[in-house]
Structure 1
Amino acid sequence: MAVPGRRNGLMEDDEIEDDFLEVEETEEVEEDSDIPPHLRPLAEAAQRGDADALRLALDDYNGSIDDPVEDGDTVLHLCCLYGYLPCVQILLERGASIECRDEEGAIPLHDACAGGFIEIVKLIIEHARDPDFVKRMLDTTDVEGDTPLHHAARGEHLDVVQLLLSFGASPKTTNLFGKTPSELADADTQVRRFLETLVATGSVTSQ
């Protein structure tokens, strides 16, 4: 799973100077990039969330839409990771797989849940349609044994946690370290209390 960069604001006095630095840094990144040249338009469009550029890149690309473009991530992984809903919609319309795994064994749903992007989570679940398909995604574990619910709980995204549970995600599943989703949320947080109460009472509606 790639890690999104921080977005820092710039002071007006620094804008011109920083613009020159940004150009130099961008050129340096492109030269040293591990992303093959033919995949860079796809990766760059996904990282920027540029829907128009993504459409053009897809139109010009002759390979599979599910080809890994960066750190084993497909374009769909990246758009879910950065929370770009319009780009995710385009990719699903173009036939991108919602079950492709990155180098850490995560599917796009893991990324969307980790970022708390509930509209993307809803879209992926709606796209799956078949209840058995949805359950299979919810039960999918990455290399550390984490399910999408583990990722949502770690990020303390209560709305995503509740949505996953409503579709049958298990709050009792343990990862390779023996941790349930609730144990990945910080102590005395709303998500931690919610999940602990849920497990204790067996009621998804418990608050």
Structure 2
Amino acid sequence: MDDLVHAKAPPSASLVNLDSATATPSFSQTQTMVHDEMSVFVAAQRGDVAALRQLIESGSASATDRDEQNVTPLHWAAINAHIAACRYLLEQGADVDARGGDLVATPMQWAARNGYLYIIHLLIAHGADPTIADSQGYNTLHLVTHSSSIMPLLYLLHQPISVDSRDAQGHTALMWAAYQGDALSVDLLLRHGANVNLKDEAGLTPLHWAVVRGNKVCIRRLVEKGGDVAAKDAEERTPRDMAVELKSLGAWKRALEEGGMNEHGVKRAKPLSDRNTKIAIFVMPTVFFYLIFMTLSVLPWYTGVLLAMAEFFGMHHIVTRVLLNKNTYTDSVSQTPYFAGIITASLIWVVYSWVTRLLHQAESHPFSHLMFALIVGLCAYNFFRAITLDPGTCPKPASDDELKQIIEDLASEGRLNGQTFCIQCCDRGKDLPNGGKKVKKSRKSHFKS
């Protein structure tokens, strides 16, 4: 019988041509077994916990048995996403990191190929090692990336496994995600610190592999995160050269144009400096709101509304296409003070109308004016604080070596008193001094400064 999971063909590193580039690498999975009678493997494959319990408790089978392909019941339960069967087998002493099959893979690697988050979580909770590589050099992170499942990938990125770990051909998870055209996975890996300029054995970077797929979103995200557009592979080809060869130059050009560059990766000059651009974007809504309100007050409503909408569109066009020098009307606007300027302009003209028209014409309502002034002032104060205060940053998780050093420093200073241990250490206690026995505490505990 063939192995449950056939090898996933790695992208060709030495010869990338049109035929190989357009072929989507795939792996087949056989999730059934043929047996004449109920066995522990069939029960695990079907998720039949009652049958498993009967076979194991009667002594006719055990959780560590292996079939003719050297595969354990836990492998079968994991790849078929039977969490109850997996939990029972683990309780009965199944080896969580048992290797079997033609690819010499673990149960978690079998589950990772399908992106089964709950199975992966259960196995890691029972001590499964995500850094183990199968016979192809794929660890759990690579296999989850192959599945294009976002939640399991996010979960694994918070486990003690390097985001830049390589397979047998030197491919990282980011290279695989780029090659698959999986923009969500590319973005997630980049946000967790994946190196955008690493090269595989053939000198190909993630940007080269994104060009192979021709996905402009992946290309653009890699370029925006510092991908080297001039990087050359072992055959002296840049990503653009490969785009020409593979007839994906159109996607390459659109990706770089949306990123504010020409097709050679040179940024287009903006009409103003960054500081003056932000000032102009912040002030412009106030000016255009004046024009819009004047238009509505002078012209009849049926023409004034149309002209006011055209003026608003003109403001948006100037901000995105002129000041920001972007090719789309939505790109990077959220990273500018544009929306803050719109809210500020609204406050300015509301207060102006109140002062010039209502305050002197409704003097008999002093309490209403006072309440209005207090509410507007409170809104303006909180809005000002919201746009000026530092929102802070989310610190990058420490590596294992950094974590050990932190704990050693705290221990040497006498600050490690049993209540100041970081939650990450609870998952890495086996790598710490003395196996983490002196410092491993409740998961609810954390470092205290």
Under a length normalisation based on structure 2, what TM-score does the superposition of the two structures give? 0.36
The 5 A counterparts of 1:150-189 are 150-185=175-210, 186-189=213-216
CA shift, 1:26, in A, is 2.8
Q: Distance in 1 between matches of 2:195 and 2:68?
A: 37
Distance 1:6 1:180, change over 3 A: farther
Q: Distance in 2 between matches of 1:163 and 1:102?
A: 24
User: Which structure carries more relative contact order (alpha carbon 8 Å, separation 6+)?
Assistant: 1
CA shift, 1:46, in A, is 1.4
Q: Is the 8 A contact 1:115 1:155 kept in 2?
A: no
Kindly indicate whether residue 182 of structure 2 is the aligned counterpart of residue 145 of structure 1.
no
Q: Distance in 2 between matches of 1:6 and 1:96?
A: 23
Aligned residues: 174
- In the alignment, residue 105 of structure 1 is paired with which amino acid? G
Kindly indicate whether residue 112 of structure 2 is the aligned counterpart of residue 104 of structure 1.
no
Q: What is the aligned counterpart of 2:97 among 40, 49, 66?
A: 66
CA shift, 1:61, in A, is 3.7
Moved over 6 A (4+): none
Q: Which moved more, 1:187-196 or 1:99-108?
A: 187-196
Q: Distance in 2 between matches of 1:159 and 1:94?
A: 29
CA shift, 1:6, in A, is 8.2
Q: Distance in 1 between matches of 2:34 and 2:155?
A: 33
CA shift, 1:105, in A, is 1.4
Secondary structure of 2:136 counterpart? coil
Kindly indicate whether residue 84 of structure 2 is the aligned counterpart of residue 57 of structure 1.
no
CA shift, 1:104, in A, is 1.4
Distance 1:177 1:27, change over 3 A: farther
- Once the two structures are superposed, residues 171-203 of structure 1 have per-residue CA deviations (whole angstroms, 9 ceiling, x without a partner) of 1111112111122231254213332443159xx
Residue 217 of structure 2 corresponds to: 190
Q: Is the 8 A contact 2:145 2:185 kept in 1?
A: yes
Q: Is the 8 A contact 1:4 1:81 kept in 2?
A: no
User: Which one has the bigger helix percentage?
Assistant: 1
- In the alignment, residue 5 of structure 1 is paired with which amino acid? Q
- In the alignment, residue 158 of structure 1 is paired with which amino acid? A
Kindly indicate whether residue 154 of structure 2 is the aligned counterpart of residue 122 of structure 1.
yes
CA shift, 1:114, in A, is 1.6
Under a length normalisation based on structure 1, what TM-score does the superposition of the two structures give? 0.73
Please say which structure displays the higher CA radius of gyration. 2
Once superposed, what is the RMSD of the aligned Cα atoms? Answer: 2.7
The 5 A counterparts of 1:24-103 are 26-27=34-35, 34-36=68-70, 39=72, 41-62=73-94, 64-70=95-101, 71-103=103-135
Q: Percent identity?
A: 22
Q: Is the 8 A contact 1:76 1:91 kept in 2?
A: yes
Q: Is the 8 A contact 2:157 2:163 kept in 1?
A: no
